[in-house]
Amino acid sequence: MIQLDHAGTPGAVTYRRGGLDESRHEIHVAVVTPGGQLLGACGDPALVTFPRSTSKPVQALPLALAAPDLPADELAIACASHAGTPAHLEVVTRLLARSGSRVEDLRCGTHPPFDAHAAAELICAGQSPTPLHHNCSGKHAGMLLSCVLNGWSREGYAAPDHPLQVRIRQAHAELAGVEPGEVQAGTDGCSVPAFALPLTGMARVFARLADPDAAPALRRIAAAMTAHPDLVAGPGRLDTTLMPQVDGLVTKMGAEGFFGLGLRESRRGPVGVAFKIVDGGERARPHVALAVLEALGVPLTPAARALAPVTQHNWAGREVGEVRVTLPWTWHA
């Protein structure tokens, strides 16, 4: 990650116990317009880091362009970090069949379902997880269909030099407003390239997703995600729970404490936000997301506030501490 000398004071989520600070997560945030204007920031808005799964709407763009009539639930699962429930697997299986592909063609690897109930059911049935249960299987099924529709080989679709991944890298650069050569690359947990961007760049991606004047493919991706938040994540998870609470909100979590959100209506018009929790502490993510929405003038429902309780309780139900969010904003005209 790169930090520039002009960075401001980072934000923080602090966990307190017995009147003392016990642990602290450092936060960097960028708020950007669809045109790329920086509206607000905490810490270093130019911080370059990996959005990880927050990139999935961009990775689904070749699919949305090549398949304009794709059902919205299948486009949503292509943008998802799903929980491996039967409902998720049904949509992934349907999307996979469109390209004539099999489960064995997925290159995402295998892990147990994120959903505890789905994981327990597998164990009780004496079954092992398959690549379908991987949270990125929808993305990979969408990539296989993108290859077929664009006339590219499905072989090696996860490789950095495959035409699909080259196209996805170009899309990151274009949407983020940076030069293609500035897009740094690594390898994600599901084996496809992971592209690093400045926070300002990823915030611009989400501003464009939220922009009602965006290109049709981007509008379709945002509409699919907001229409099917249950597919984007899963029961009790942040994206699934938060999107229905705020009209015109599209969000996507990424590993290691990354988060992107696009808001169609705020007191500053359509905006995009990207933030990074530097230590990867994912427990801080809902606290920061709600604090950002409040800073943008979004009224929060009780259900939304329940995502980030300000008090800590132990296993006996006793209140033992508190959570404080500090975002020292610098706002720009």
- Could you give phi then psi for residue 236, rounded to 5 degrees? 80, 0
3-class state of residue 276 by DSSP: strand
**Residues near 94 by beta carbon (within 8 Å), at least 6 away in sequence:** 74
* Proportion of the chain above pLDDT 90, given as a percent: 95
CA distance 273 to 316: 37
pLDDT tens by residue, 21-67 = 999 999 999 999 999 999 999 999 999 999 999 999 999 999 999 99
Q: Three-state DSSP class for 277?
A: strand
Strand partners, 42: 29
- Do the Cβ atoms of 83 and 231 come closer than 8 Å? no
CA angle 322, 289, 238 (to 5 degrees): 95
Helix, strand, or coil (residue 312): strand
**CA 129 to CA 107: how far, in whole Å?**
14
Phi, psi at 21, each rounded to 5°: -70, 125
Whether 152 and 166 have beta carbons less than 8 Å apart is answered as: no
223-255 pLDDT tens trace:
999 999 999 999 999 999 999 999 999 999 999
Contact (CB, 8 A) for 145 and 67: yes
pLDDT in tens, the chain (333 residues): 333 345 799 999 999 999 999 999 999 999 999 999 999 999 999 999 999 999 999 999 999 999 999 999 999 999 999 999 999 999 999 999 999 999 999 999 999 999 999 999 999 999 999 999 999 999 999 999 999 999 999 999 999 999 999 999 999 999 999 999 999 999 999 999 999 999 999 999 999 999 999 999 999 999 999 999 999 999 999 999 999 999 999 999 999 999 999 999 888 889 999 999 999 999 999 999 999 999 999 999 999 999 999 999 999 999 999 999 999 999 986
8 Å CB contact between 142 and 101: no
Does residue 83 contact residue 234 with C-beta atoms inside 8 Å? Answer: yes
pLDDT at position 318 is 96
The DSSP string of 219-267 is HHHHHHHHH-HHHHS-TT-HHHHHGGGSTTEEEEEETTTEEEEEES--T
Domains of the chain: 11-331 (3.40.710)
